Amino acid sequence: MPIVKVIEVISSSTKSIDDAVHNAVAECAKTIRNIDSVYVKDIKAHVKDNKVSSFGVICNVSFRVDEP
């Protein structure tokens, strides 16, 4: 039976929320194999000079742990 581990990561983007989620997965994939899913826990937007300057997401990334 596979074991699934969940980590929490924070990511951001100046483009969009969607891009912030893609950035989170791309960064995790550099050191983690077998990523199964991403659950977006929270979304926020940073405002500068009365305009949205960047988007941030807090994600739970789930991945299967390799069996020995």
In this prediction, residue 6 carries a pLDDT of 97
> What is the CATH T-level fold of the domain 3-65, as seen in this structure?
Dodecin subunit-like (3.30.1660)
The contacts of residue 47 (CB under 8 Å, 6+ apart) are 53
Task: Give dist(CA 65, CA 43) in Å, integer.
Answer: 28
In this prediction, residue 1 carries a pLDDT of 76
Task: Give dist(CA 3, CA 68) in Å, integer.
Answer: 12
Task: Give dist(CA 37, CA 59) in Å, integer.
Answer: 10
The domain ranges of the chain are: 3-65
21-31: pLDDT as tens digits: 999 999 999 99
Three-state secondary structure string covering 18-50: HHHHHHHHHHHHCCCCCEEEEEEEEEEEEEECC
